[in-house]
Structure 1
Amino acid sequence: MMNLIASASAVALILGAPLTVGLKQVQPKPAIAAPADAAAPLTAAERSKLLKEASKALATVKTARGKFEQYSPDGTLSTGQFAMSRPGKVRFDYDDPTPLLLVSDGTTVALQDSELETTDRVPLAQTPLSLLLSDKLDFEKQAEVIDVRRTGDRTNITVRDKSGEMDGTLTVILAGADNTLSGWRTVDASGGRTSVLLSGVETGAKLNPRLFILRDFDNR
């Protein structure tokens, strides 16, 4: 379901392999840091209730758009705009000078580099995005849940590949009583962390379907 470690460059970008083009060297913001260990442990009933509420809240959002910040394992920062249409479709349009565009059309995730004029593709099902973009998202059924924490108004749900074939984890970060998706964090097999922070999110927006179509350079 979720191939959290893969060599294809599109997946590497999603998982936070360091980008080397047009990035700023910064330290990740504490807004998406790991929650404090002092958070009270959840009972089994509380954990199950929270997972169901979070799954329902995320699945209810059919479209969204806004801005994102991505922090790679080496601390570099890239920014841009995103658009999402459930199920399976998303677009990450990176700001200059990063010449990258990432698009999922519901089946395939494509990463395009406008400087190199290359487009790399990988099945959506082999990326963490397959869970986040699922039409009937259910954390307990679709992934192995390894940690659930509630700290203040923030909920962190950490999952990994249910098949156990791949290393790595995905932490989904939700904010507020309505469990709004505020970002996520991935940890690869070597311990490298990548964080994505969303801001200015507008839900329920009418999006042009063409946003989620990405053609190869030689097919334009």
Structure 2
Amino acid sequence: MNPVRGSLAALALCLPVLASAGAVDDFLAFTGSASSATARFEQQVIDSRGRVVDKAAGEFAFSRPGKFRWAYALPARTLIVADGARLWIHDEDLNQVTVRPADRALSATPAALLAGRGDATAVFTLRDAGAKDGIDWLEALPKEKDTGFERVRVGMKARVPVAMELEDALGGRTVLRFVDFRPNAKVDPALFRFTPPKGADVLDESARTPAAKKP
């Protein structure tokens, strides 16, 4: 499975306020009013030389607190589901499932920006990053080490997220563009439940001792 996709799922809706206008205000208005959302996304992974090395597309949904579904449809089918307690990552091509504790996997990750449980002041520093092409940007800097990324930028337009950019320690970037973002959309709770398919290899990292098994 693409490691970038794992980091996204493994990729805190409320962030500390260090600026008072533009993207910060819009983001806080969104986080304060949207208990759920759905959208489609397009993703590009760009290396430090500016070359596009991977493209993907899919759709996601979230329901606060702490539940989300991130489904890659192209080029490979990968499903990431957080049910509030556990994070499930299913590589459909390999029929492999990884299970992790949701709190540990998501506490300081970009995925938590959209479906977090609450205030992330302890793990992020936030600042307004200006506007470009009609999009207001904010920048989130993780306080924790070894998060897998150096910074996250979120683009806001009409008070909803329309873009997200992740920069890693080597200068690579993952760029996400959101399409048809619908705050407070009605979401079927079944989307946030996951049962490993028959015959799947399951690595349960939520247990004290990770073990592989076939259900």
TM-score between the two structures when normalised by the length of structure 2: 0.71
Once the two structures are TM-superposed, the CA of residue 216 in structure 1 deviates from its matched residue by 2.6
Distance 2:176 2:94 in 1: 25
Aligned pairs for 1:1-220 (under 5 A) are 11-14=6-9, 47-50=19-22, 51-74=24-47, 75=52, 76-122=54-100, 123-136=105-118, 143-151=124-132, 153-164=134-145, 166=147, 168-176=150-158, 179-218=159-198
Amino acid at match of 1:107: A
* Shift in alpha-carbon separation, 1:15–1:172, aligned structure 2, 3 A: farther
Identity of aligned residues (%): 23
Distance change (3 Å), C-alpha of 1:173 and 1:188: same
SS in 2 for 1:57: helix
CA gap of 1:141–1:152, structure 2 versus 1, over 3 A, is farther
Unaligned runs of 5+ in 1: 1-6, 17-44
- What is the CA–CA distance in structure 2 between the aligned matches of 1:79 and 1:67, rounded to whole Å? 8
Gaps of 5+ in 2: 12-16, 199-213
- TM superposition outliers: structure 1 runs of 4+ over 6 Å: none
Provide the alpha-carbon RMSD of the alignment.
3.1
Q: Distance in 1 between matches of 2:27 and 2:185?
A: 21
Retained in 2: the 8 A contact 1:63–1:204? yes
CA–CA distance in structure 1, aligned partners of residues 131 and 144 of structure 2: 26
Amino acid of the residue matched to residue 158 of structure 1?
E
- TM-superposed CA distance for 1:110, in Å, is 2.3
TM-score (norm 1): 0.69
Partner of 1:32: none
- Normalized per residue, the structure richer in helix is 1
Distance 1:8 1:77 in 2: 13
